[in-house]
A and B are shown apart, each in its own frame.
Chain A
């Protein structure tokens, strides 16, 4: 009989310990396995969250740990929720969210609808389309910065070619109101494939016999699209919208690399402002309250997301 490494380890276990483990119930053994994960979860997620909630009621500054910490009650929340600057950042975030989601849904659904038709090179095309999604946001931010350069960037030359506007006459990342659109273009370019994949899953889940029945009833293609395709893909689309909404609400890395929140405060999203408050102005208590406000919003949206996900699973 061959001796496996597991046998060797079992034999190496001290008899006293082996007797103790053998006496454990299944439930106790399950707890034994789950406890390290639970401990890590508490240490990495739950404890910092509780600590942040506590800090949000104080005037603590992380760069001055020796200073006496004062309990300020709800003053941090009051200052944030009456600040016109933060309100403006939320509107910038909303502009970014609304346009990215609208464009991604329209383009993603159209691409999925086209890819769903059977044609030669379908798989290769799908792979090429999903490539941007696989790149790191840091890489995407850096290379789009080069593409957007007014002198040498490819983007401006393509615009010149199409519209006739001289390439060096405008800067996508500089002043002039185009910076807001530059981050929308990049996010749409990167994440449309994700929406496309979800829509594609929805389209492929529709059985062919439903369309065959519609054909028998002499329903036009247009009618089939609006009464069969759209309602059956809608739960999947909702899922994509919620997922992208949550992700873009927290958007940070790509925008920081592209514009850094500028020019001025034109692309200053809430997450970038939060980072500035916490690690440039060192207002830890204030930024903790800011973070809690964003957290509750994302948590609320995530709850709706889970509900939508369950509905899709029930189908």
Chain B
């Protein structure tokens, strides 16, 4: 876990990619879940942040 945070602080690709992957996955789940309308409303912004983050962090060093 500490490696993960150290990687984030050093702008390493793998932890940032994992974080953006989680955001994209969370956004998709929020978009399609049947329980909360507020989660559906915020799903797009979560997915968008995850996707843009993924594009940026895929250029970070390994």
Contact = CB atoms under 8 A, between A and B. Distances in A.
Interface of B: 17, 20-21, 24-25, 27-28, 31-34, 37, 40-44, 47-48, 50-51, 54-55, 58
Contact of A300 (B37, B40, B50): B50
B55 A81 contact: no
Contacts, number: 53
Contacts of A91: 32-34
Interface of A: 77, 81-82, 84, 87, 90-91, 93-94, 97, 293, 296-297, 299-301, 303-304, 307
B53 to A, nearest CB: 10
Contacts of A94: 32-34
A300 B43 CA distance: 12
A303 B51 contact: yes
Given A93-B32, A303-B24, A307-B21, A296 B55 contact: no
Listed from nearest, the 5 A-B pairs whose CB atoms lie closest are: A94-B32, A300-B24, A300-B51, A81-B41, A303-B54
A84 B37 contact: yes
- A77, A82, A300: most-surrounded residue (chain B CB, <10 A): A300
Contact of A296 (B21, B40, B42, B47): B47
Contact of B40 (A87, A93, A97, A303): A87
A297 B33 CA distance: 14
10 contacts: A84-B37, A91-B33, A93-B32, A296-B47, A296-B51, A300-B24, A300-B54, A303-B58, A304-B21, A304-B24
Q: At the interface, is chain A mostly helix, strand, loop or mixed?
A: helix
B36 to A, nearest CB: 10
Given A304-B25, A307-B17, A307-B21, A299 B51 contact: yes
B25 A296 contact: no
A211 to B, nearest CB: 32
B28 A301 contact: yes
A81 B39 CA distance: 10
A300 B44 contact: no
Contacts of B58: 303
A93 B40 CA distance: 14
A82 B41 contact: yes
A77 B51 contact: no
B44 A90 contact: no
A266 B54 CA distance: 35
B44 A293 contact: yes
Contacts of B17: 307
Nearest to A86: B40
